[in-house]
Amino acid sequence: MVPQRRVPHRSGLCRILIALTLAAVLGLPIAWRAAAAGDPQTGVPSEVEQAVRSDLARWVGVLASDPHSRAHGVEDPARYSLGDGYRLYRVSRFVREGGVATTLDQFTEAQDVYRFVVNLDGRPLGIAEVQRQGGRWAVVGVGYDGPVETAGNGGTATGGFADRLARARALLAERGLLADVRWVDHPPYLTGLAGSDGEDSSFISLGNHLGLAEGHVTSLADVSARIHQAAGTDANGTDAKSPPTTPDPLATALAGVGVLGAAVGVGGYLWLRRASG
């Protein structure tokens, strides 16, 4: 009698291989959608980020040629990189007309403008602004941190604008408010980062605005009330007095070049340059 050759039982192994294959196949659309969505924290689509990376080299000469920039004389594109990106928001009409916001959606209105931190040798250098031009996203202005000076309203600047932006984001991280991060820029009233965990929200000032010092953390309701006071609008939306007529010095400077509208009322102003042609 010839002994039968035993064949190893492979059904278990086959089931594992099939499961792994299905997981890989089904996971592809999920991974693609996640990549296409861009940064879920700051609302930056992936196509916008890719456009900035492709366009950044064009601006190296602008920064390198300006004696006021820390990048003066640095013409090697490999030394420049992108940091965090943000979609830009304005204060909502709801708040401007007297409403008290408690959520980011109540407090802000999205703009089709994005800003990215530009790094030089891994250190924040300034900001690039991105808008649509001719049907495509492109960098329309680059801003660098100017000289650190004594701030207005009795405050003192503690670093360049990009550095202060990073510190504000770190403060949101400490509070667990990075599920949704929005750069709110509405001159002449304020500029700052607002963050939320889906339930609680806070605002961090990026300058001395509305009686809020640099780096001050407060609620959206408090910022709403300060805006009403500054604009002379009461809770019923009635104008109590005329809005402030003294423009922020940076807003005035930027109006001349027609690029970035950040109203930063402290030292280390963000200066904008356009590329020629």
The 10s digit of each residue's pLDDT in 63-101 is: 888 787 788 899 999 999 999 999 999 999 999 999 999
Q: What is the pLDDT of residues 201-219, one digit of tens each?
A: 999 999 888 999 989 999 9
Residue 1 belongs to some domain of the structure: no
**Could you read off the pLDDT of 137-183 as tens digits, one per residue?**
999 988 776 543 333 333 333 457 788 888 999 999 999 999 999 99
Closest C-alpha to 51, from 85, 88, 89:
85
Assign residue 268 a region (left: φ > 0; alpha: ψ between -120 and 50; beta: otherwise). Answer: left
**Surface-to-core class of residue 79, CB atoms within 10 Å of its CB (0-12 exposed, 13-18 middle, 19+ buried):** middle
Would you call 172 helix, strand, or coil by DSSP?
helix
2 in any annotated domain = no
Mean pLDDT of 90-113: 96
Question: Domain range holding 20?
Answer: 10-38
**Whether 168 and 62 share a structural domain:** yes
pLDDT confidence of residue 106:
97
46, 135: one domain: yes
Q: Identify the three-state secondary structure at position 85.
A: strand
Q: Is the pLDDT of residue 235 over 90?
A: no
Domain count along the chain: 2
pLDDT value of position 109 = 97
Do 69 and 192 fall into the same domain? yes
Same domain flag for 21 and 49: no
Residue 12: which pLDDT band, with cuts at 50, 70 and 90? low
The answer on 83 and 63 residing in a single domain is yes
Q: Are residues 49 and 31 in the same domain?
A: no
Same domain, 182 and 117: yes
Tell me the pLDDT of the chain averaged across its residues: 73
Q: What is the rounded distance in angstroms from the CA atom of residue 254 to the CA atom of residue 54?
A: 25
